Amino acid sequence: MPGWYGRWIQRWERELVARDRDRFPRPLEWGWEWLRRTPVNGLPDRIPETAALDCLREWNLRALSRSPEFFSAPAVRDFELRGHWLQFSSPAPSGDPANDQVRARWFEPQPRRSRPRAVIVLPQWNADAEGHVALCRGLQRLGIAALRLSLPWHDARKPSGLARAEYAVDANLGRTIHAARQAVCDVRACLDWLQSQGYEDVGILGTSLGSCYALLASSHEPRLKVNVFNHVSPWFGDVVWTGLATRHVRDSLAGQLNREQLRASWMAISPAHYLPRMAGARKHNLLIYARYDLTFLPELSRQALAEFKRLGIPHEVRVLPCGHNTTGQTPFQWLDGYWMVQFLRRWL
Residue 114 has pLDDT above 80, yes or no: no
pLDDT at 44: 87
Q: Which of 152, 149, 145, 151 is nearest to 199 (CA)?
A: 145
Report the distance separating Cα 110 and Cα 291, nearest Å. Answer: 38
pLDDT for the residue numbered 70: 97
Mean pLDDT of 232-240: 97
Q: Is the pLDDT higher at 1 or at 248?
A: 248
Write down the pLDDT at residue 255: 86
Q: Is the pLDDT of residue 289 over 90?
A: yes
In the prediction, which pLDDT does 112 show? 74
Q: Is it the case that residue 113 has pLDDT exceeding 80?
A: no
Contact (Cβ atoms closer than 8 angstroms) between residue 266 and residue 212: no
Averaged confidence pLDDT in the chain = 95
What's the CATH number where 63 sits? Answer: 3.40.50.1820
CA distance 47 to 56: 10
Residue type, 9: I
Order of strands across the sheet with 101-107? 80-82, 85-89, 101-107, 145-149, 117-122, 201-207, 224-230, 284-290, 316-320
Average pLDDT over residues 140-162: 95
Note the pLDDT tens digit of each residue in 251-272.
999 889 999 999 999 999 999 9
Is the model's pLDDT at 6 over the cut of 90? yes
Mapping DSSP to helix (H, G, I), strand (E, B) and coil, where does residue 36 land?
A: coil
Question: In Å, what is the CA distance from 11 to each residue of 238, 292, 297?
Answer: 22, 10, 15
With b for 16 or more beta-carbon neighbours within 10 A and e for fewer, the 63-95 pattern comes to beebbeebbbbeebeebeeeeeebebebbbbbe
Mean pLDDT in residue range 267-285: 96
pLDDT digits (tens, 9 = 90+) for 178-212: 999 999 999 999 999 999 999 999 999 999 999 99
Flag whether pLDDT at 250 surpasses 90. yes
Q: What is the reported pLDDT for 162?
A: 86
Comparing 17-26, 52-61, 119-128, 209-218, which segment has the lowest mean pLDDT? Answer: 17-26
CA dihedral 40, 250, 324, 329 (to 10 degrees): 110
Q: Which residues pair with 120 in a beta bridge?
A: 147, 204
* Angle between helix 133-141 and 332-347 (nearest 10): 40
Q: The domain containing residue 185 runs over which residues? A: 4-347
For residue 98, give Cα distances in angstroms to 52, 192, 285, 331.
Answer: 30, 22, 33, 36
Share of the chain above pLDDT 70, in %: 100
Q: What is the pLDDT of residue 77?
A: 96
Nearest one of 75, 90, 96, 28 to 254, comparing CA atoms: 28
Q: What pLDDT score does 249 carry?
A: 95
Compute the average pLDDT of residues 127-149: 95
One-letter amino acid at 123 equals: P
Cα(229)–Cα(180) distance, integer angstroms: 16
Task: Among 111-115, 156-160, 233-237, 278-282, name the one with the lowest average pLDDT.
Answer: 111-115
Count of domains in the chain?
A: 1
Predicted confidence (pLDDT) per residue in 7-44, tens digit: 999 999 999 999 987 888 889 999 999 999 999 988 98
Rounded-to-integer distance, Cα 268 and Cα 288, Å: 23
Helices 173-196 & 209-218 angle (0-180, nearest 10): 60
